[in-house]
Structure 1
Amino acid sequence: MFSFAVMAMLTLQAFAGGVKYKPEAFADPANVAKKNLALSLKKLKKLNIKKLVILECYGEFVVSKEVTNHQLGLIKSSRIDINKDYYTNTTNRVYDDLVAMFEKNGIAIVSKDQVHANQTYLDWNLKEEKEGRGASSGLFQPTKVNETQKISTTGLGIFPGVIGMFKVVSTVAQMTAEMGADGFLQVWYKVDIGKKFAPVLTAFEIKLSTDLRSQEVGFKGNKSLRYDFYTQWEPIVKLKEAIISEADIRGAEKGTIDLTKYDAELMGMLGAVENGIGFAIHELLPENTPVIHQTTPTEEQGSEVPQDQ
């Protein structure tokens, strides 16, 4: 059971722009792919990609927002506190859904266990959680301050900032090659606080680094292969505009939300996006067959030879 609480001084204004979430309107994956997503998937086919590794998959959740209008002397703020386990479970579901989607369309995904077995990845020492704070203001605009919580799927970390990225950039191509993948994916989505604290999916993005090439470097007697990506950090999926839930998710007690209703809205929006991506990949690669993983029989299950009676 998740614990949660909601606190507010004043209700923030509704989101400008975006599209209202209605389950029936997002039930058709083809329509979602066309209307709601900016897709650039052609390299999956052009480069005959058969295996990828997801090295980053996290959700960014706005947990607090404050708007200060200095001219009117008004402060509007809201905060939503949900147990971090919920955010982790949500991102785990997104990760699992994407793995299933790619593999259904013939593109294998390197398992987390294989990633963890790579010493280079372990040396990155990535964190699974990060807190953030962002502010924006203008001469005649109110000051807006958001606090966010970034939560990764279990077992994978979030890439570091500019300084820490040097180690990642200098070793990620070699590591990808060691795992037998054609490239790697980064997945990020963002959830904001909407009207009456309903979820708003403001971003969903997948980046691809691929076209992995090698060249021999060094001198005689001490040569090695160096790997480089000729396609780097390319956005292959982007949400065109925010998807806004307007559901009444208030709980029975004043100042609370019904997490079951909240989850149904958020996972409905995320699921619609995932289905739209899956539809587009299938349209691009109709000849691909689902990935089938070979399982190694255990001693109890597979080592006995049937005996004639």
Structure 2
Amino acid sequence: MRAYIRLHRETIVLSLTLLLLIIATMKPTITLQREITSHLIFIDVTQSMNVTDMSVNGHPVSRLEYTKHLLKKTIKQLPCHSRVGLAIFFKADVALLYTPVETCRNLSLLEDTIDHLEWRMASRGNSNIRLGLQSIAVRLVTIDVPVNVVFITDGDEAAPLNAINKTNLSGWIGGSDWLLVGVGGEKPSPIPKLDANNKRVGIWSIYSIKIAPGIAVNDGPNSARDESYATAPYEYYLSRLDDRYMEELAADIKGNYLKASSPKALTHAMLNQKVSYKDQTEFNLSWLFALGALISIITLYIADMPNVYQKWSKTP
């Protein structure tokens, strides 16, 4: 038997190589079950997110621009097969941009969507985060797979909360292990007022109980002063990230709070969220059989190298 194999070694190896290549062209697959983590990220796009009190690479940027930078870096650090969906928050509402998609195959889609996030996507500029959390819980009912909720916001409530309009979340049943991510500086900063062309036209005033986008600005010579503009620093509508309030919110909904500091910290926090589900996927084995065919050919010629060398050395 050994003598037969030695005599017909080349024929056997070439036949095996051909068989492996034929199998590879048939695209064989096996079904694998894996655990999928899915995240739905809600981004605050209200006008307080236009405050410039953050920095990227040493350059001052708005809270929203920092959020966009943070998200793009974070999504790249998530393992492939993780899924991410995007939504926006404004007033007390949320709008779903799309349900979670696989991050590696759809990275350009996710980055393009993030790049185009802006305050003009909101139909209203004021915000009630507590009601927004309830809106998120309602929205989750329409999604057919379990998701981890990530809510990125500066925590600014406009109009400011009081004993009358502060929604009680003590009986929260909307879900647990949500991640609230705080963006913004600790020092109170004025909120810029922008026109429909995204040009700065002033500072929001404390007399503006509702901060709503789309208010017409009359630039004509006979225009009267718009009372929603601040004319002196003491009228500025100021905004800051209140960590204590954000921690209170997280505790009310049995979630966690993270102050935005780096993509690494956000990635770690997202990977520690507990919601996941099992999914079946087809794993292509073609490359494995093609690799086997290549190894067979290489093995054949390596084994024949001593004979080739002897013939070459005897050549005058």
> Shorter-normalised TM-score: what interval?
under 0.3
How high is the TM-score relative to the length of structure 2?
0.26
Kindly indicate which of the two structures has a greater share of residues assigned to helix: 2
Kindly indicate which of the two structures has a greater share of residues assigned to strand: 1
